[in-house]
Amino acid sequence: MHTRIRKFNTRDTYPEQQLDNDLCHAVVARGRTVFIRGQVGQELETAANVGVGDPVAQAEQAMRNIKQLLTEAGATLEHICKITIYLTDARIREPVYRVIGSWLRGVFPVSTGIIVAGLARPEWLVEIDVIAVIPD
């Protein structure tokens, strides 16, 4: 599908952390690009907040939303090339990354994590956006 350059797993690069995420340093992709807006702990259909105060529940909901939006766009999780994770607190990094890693096992996207002062609503602790490419 896409060429994933310099694949690695975070358990090897960050042995002091309890992570097991498949990532890579670069992705070469050709096809139709799908940009997924930042997803949070909010249901797509009702806009109801999920997991207030619980970053793991919010990450799970964000990933469910991402999977649903990719499906609606004709893509799959395997088409993800780039993921950006916004966190409001560095202390929630490991549990949130474990959730994301469980959804993206074997995908090896490029990943960037950012600690921010806040998100659009104070109850949101996690926001995740992705770029996927549906192969030609």
Q: Would residue 108 be called left, alpha or beta, if left means φ above 0 and alpha means ψ between -120 and 50 degrees?
A: left
C-alpha span between 71 and 69 (Å, rounded): 5
State the pTM of this model.
0.93
* pLDDT at 26 (0 to 100): 93
In the prediction, which pLDDT does 65 show? 97
Average pLDDT value for residue range 77-96: 98
The pLDDT confidence band at residue 17, using thresholds 50, 70 and 90, is confident
How far is 93 from 80, CA to CA, in rounded Å?
A: 20
Name the H helices within the chain.
Answer: 10-13, 55-72, 93-103
Q: Which amino acid is at 67?
A: K
Q: What is the pLDDT of residues 106-129, one digit of tens each?
A: 999 999 999 999 999 999 999 999
Query: What pLDDT is recorded for position 18?
Result: 86
Percent helix, percent strand, percent coil in the chain, to nearest 5: 30, 35, 40
| pLDDT reported for residue 14 | 86
Strands 110-115 and 80-87: parallel
Averaged pLDDT score across all residues of the chain: 96
What's the pLDDT tens digit per position in 1-10? 789 999 999 9
Residue 102, pLDDT above cutoff 90: yes
End-to-end alpha carbon distance in the chain: 9
